[in-house]
């Protein structure tokens, strides 16, 4: 694991437990010499992630649409920032050359990025590990929903292997490295027919 894309919150008005978990995860990424790719924003969990990586001498790259730069939302301490024309292009750039994806708690943007990545993996368009950090059981309702997708035959049981939920930052890297193999031929069982 050399390059990990991280999806996470921009909100600064969330419980301290989320910031603490993000800080611990960032330190682990630095310890493993992993390049962290994130949304480029200077606040919320994105800001905590970047601040911690920078403080500990790690590597971080931001990817942000130009309209967010114009709003002056770019993290000023991140020197490697790529600006895109659209949100869609931003998500595409996130996934380029990533060895894995990690979702921390977040709002609609984080959920949208995560669910798009799961959809792409279901179709075999990406094969990277997806790890979801379930701090404070934030993703409990999503776990329930994804399991319901399977139990009601909207997805196959095999699709439950596309992601791994972990409760602690210390388990993220192991989960990335031990994720079940996924192949491009997954499109053969992407639907229930």
Dump pLDDT digits (tens) for 162-185. Answer: 999 999 999 999 999 999 999 989
Q: What is the mean pLDDT of the chain?
A: 96
User: For the whole model, what pTM was predicted?
Assistant: 0.95
pLDDT grade for 130, boundaries at 50, 70 and 90: very high
Q: Look up the CATH number of the domain holding residue 63.
A: 3.40.50.450
Task: Please check the confidence at residue 8 and state whether its pLDDT lies above 90.
Answer: yes
Give the pLDDT score at 188: 87
Summarised one tens digit per residue, pLDDT across range 36-49 is 999 999 999 999 99
For tokens 């991280």, name the residue. 6
Domains identified in the chain, total number: 1
**Domain range holding 120?**
3-189
Summarised one tens digit per residue, pLDDT across range 52-108 is 999 999 999 999 999 988 888 899 999 999 999 999 999 999 999 999 999 999 999
């Amino acid at each position: 694991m050399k390059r990990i894309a991280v999806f996470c919150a921009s909100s600064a008005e969330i419980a301290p437990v989320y910031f603490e978990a993000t800080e611990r995860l960032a330190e682990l990424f630095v310890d493993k010499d992993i390049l962290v790719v994130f949304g480029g924003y200077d606040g919320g969990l994105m800001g905590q992630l970047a601040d911690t990586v920078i403080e500990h001498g790690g590597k971080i790259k931001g990817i942000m649409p130009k309209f967010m730069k114009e709003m002056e939302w770019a993290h000023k301490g991140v020197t490697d920032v790529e600006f895109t024309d659209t949100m869609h292009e931003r998500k595409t750039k996130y996934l380029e050359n990533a060895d894995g994806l990690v979702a921390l708690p977040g709002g609609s943007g984080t959920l949208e990025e995560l669910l798009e990545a799961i959809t792409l993996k279901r179709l075999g368009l990406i094969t990277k590990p997806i790890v979801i950090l379930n701090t404070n059981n934030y993703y409990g309702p999503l776990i329930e929903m994804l399991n319901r997708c399977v139990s009601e035959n909207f997805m196959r049981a095999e699709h439950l292997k596309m992601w791994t939920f972990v409760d602690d930052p210390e388990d993220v890297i192991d989960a990335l490295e031990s994720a079940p193999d996924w192949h491009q031929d997954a499109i053969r069982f992407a639907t229930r027919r």
